[in-house]
């Protein structure tokens, strides 16, 4: 089945469906046919495990492939990161496909191999899934839905509602790379320096930060749709605090900055898929920052702000020119279909 295209019959549950599963989907994900014989996967938890974390997500990115990633890698990393920033050690994922009739089977295999590679890199297993085929024109080629489960170790409590005055805000790297990479691929834009998505698993970075900061780490959030502006406002609202961010301290990708200036976009509102914000107590900031910088995803990590006392919930941006303005929650989605 290396060539050809997906037919409606591949989603019908019969011989064609089994053929697609056994010859394309399972091998691409590194699984055996036996893995698909049960209706649910059972997962053994380590003795004395802490709390269970569960998340789900759907991926409808357009185009399916972009500089630095594709929908397969994105679906795994996005789900792993939702678990990791909650303090969980990702354990297993499900992966369900909605495939448009006529989709190239070879391309499907390539995208699933990318998902499998991302899962291996993140140390997580894909244990269950589902496949549906819809009529041509109904799904933009391929949609992926995932669910992820992880274990939050005892003593780990990170939450958007746990930030407090005096906390420091760290970010793990430059902002806006994913959104600009997807936009450039979608619209055929060419920049002097190509922009590559930051799509990556944050699991190692989160483990390192928690090991270094312990209970001093209060909140972590990956900066996906709505970028840093949305995530910081969500945290400020959930905790009822004011967050002040120093624009000059934010790590900058010159290619992203140039693209945003040309397109009239603010990097703070552009999506990321391998960058997070972390809030921790002052005593934990230095060791956490060092731990973040020791990982490949956090090598450009920086302290960018702090939590103020005695102010209403809001995000304030201290600009490069020395002024101060409110950084609002984005009104809508400036760059749709980026995940």
- 72-114 pLDDT, tens digit each: 999 999 999 999 999 999 999 999 999 999 999 999 999 999 9
Question: What confidence score (pLDDT) does residue 154 get?
Answer: 84
Average pLDDT, the chain: 92
Does the pLDDT value for residue 44 go beyond 80? no
As a whole number, mean pLDDT of residues 270-287 equals: 98
Does the pLDDT value for residue 263 go beyond 70? yes
Give 106-155 pLDDT, tens digit per residue.
999 999 999 999 999 999 999 999 999 999 999 999 999 999 999 998 88
Helical packing angle, 71-84 and 105-122, nearest 10°: 30
Contact yes or no for 192/254 (Cβ under 8 A):
no
Give 9-35 pLDDT, tens digit per residue.
887 767 788 788 888 988 988 877 765
> In the chain, which residues fall in CATH 3.90.650.10?
168-326
Cα–Cα dist 211/269, whole Å: 30
Q: How many CA atoms lie within 13 A of 67 on its CB side?
A: 20
Does the pLDDT value for residue 168 go beyond 60? yes
Does the pLDDT value for residue 334 go beyond 80? no
Question: What confidence score (pLDDT) does residue 180 get?
Answer: 97
Question: What confidence score (pLDDT) does residue 13 get?
Answer: 65
Helical packing angle, 254-263 and 177-187, nearest 10°: 60
**Which residues does 339 contact at the CB level (< 8 Å), separation at least 6?**
59, 60, 61, 74, 78, 178, 224, 225, 271, 273
**Percent of the chain surpassing pLDDT 90:** 77
Does the pLDDT value for residue 236 go beyond 60? yes
Does the pLDDT value for residue 39 go beyond 80? no
Question: What confidence score (pLDDT) does residue 37 get?
Answer: 57
Q: Which residue has the tokens 């939050």?
A: 152
Q: Is 34 exposed, middle or buried (0-12, 13-18, 19+ CB in 10 A)?
A: exposed
Question: What confidence score (pLDDT) does residue 38 get?
Answer: 61
pTM: 0.92
Question: What confidence score (pLDDT) does residue 16 get?
Answer: 82
As a whole number, mean pLDDT of residues 48-65 equals: 91
Cα–Cα dist 196/132, whole Å: 31
As a whole number, mean pLDDT of residues 206-229 equals: 96
- Taking Cα atoms as reference points, which of 183, 174, 160 lies closest to residue 257? 174
> In the chain, which residues fall in CATH 3.30.1330.10?
8-39+48-152
- The fold of 168-326 is Phosphoribosyl-aminoimidazole Synthetase; Chain A, domain 2 (3.90.650)
As a whole number, mean pLDDT of residues 206-227 equals: 96
Strands of 183-313, DSSP E = 217-222, 242-246, 276-280, 302-308
Does the pLDDT value for residue 287 go beyond 80? yes
As a whole number, mean pLDDT of residues 255-277 equals: 95
**Percent of the chain surpassing pLDDT 70:** 94
- The fold of 8-39+48-152 is 60s Ribosomal Protein L30; Chain: A; (3.30.1330)
Does the pLDDT value for residue 51 go beyond 80? yes
């Amino acid at each position: 089945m290396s060539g050809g295209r997906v037919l409606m019959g591949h989603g019908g549950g019969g011989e064609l469906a089994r053929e697609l599963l056994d010859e394309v989907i399972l091998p691409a994900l590194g699984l055996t046919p036996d893995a698909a014989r049960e209706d649910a996967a059972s997962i053994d938890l380590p003795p004395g495990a802490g709390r269970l974390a569960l998340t789900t997500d759907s991926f409808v990115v357009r185009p399916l492939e972009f500089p630095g990633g594709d929908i397969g890698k994105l679906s795994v990393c996005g789900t792993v990161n939702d678990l990791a920033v909650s303090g969980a050690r990702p354990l297993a994922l499900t992966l369900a496909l909605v495939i448009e009739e006529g989709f190239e089977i070879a391309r499907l295999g390539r995208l699933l191999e990318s998902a499998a590679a991302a899962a291996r890199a993140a140390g997580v297993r894909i244990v269950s899934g589902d496949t549906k085929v819809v009529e041509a024109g109904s799904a933009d080629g391929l949609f992926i839905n995932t669910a992820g489960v992880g274990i939050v170790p005892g003593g780990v409590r990170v939450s958007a509602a746990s930030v407090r005055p005096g906390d420091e805000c760290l970010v793990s790297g430059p902002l806006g790379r994913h959104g600009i990479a997807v936009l450039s691929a979608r619209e055929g834009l060419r920049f002097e320096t190509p922009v590559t998505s930051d799509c990556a698993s944050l699991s190692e970075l989160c483990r390192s930060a928690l090991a270094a900061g312990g209970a001093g780490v209060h909140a972590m959030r990956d900066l996906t749709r709505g970028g840093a502006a949305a995530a910081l406002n969500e945290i400020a609202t959930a905790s009822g605090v004011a967050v002040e961010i120093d624009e000059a301290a934010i790590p900058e990708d010159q290619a992203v900055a140039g693209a945003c200036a040309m397109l009239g976009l603010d990097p703070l509102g552009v999506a990321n898929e391998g960058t997070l914000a972390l809030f921790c107590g002052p005593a934990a900031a230095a060791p956490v920052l060092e731990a973040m910088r020791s990982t490949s995803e956090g090598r450009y990590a920086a302290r960018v702000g702090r939590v103020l006392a005695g102010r209403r919930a809001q995000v304030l941006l201290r600009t490069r020119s020395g002024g101060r303005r409110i950084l609002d929650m984005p009104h809508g989605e400036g760059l749709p279909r980026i995940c």
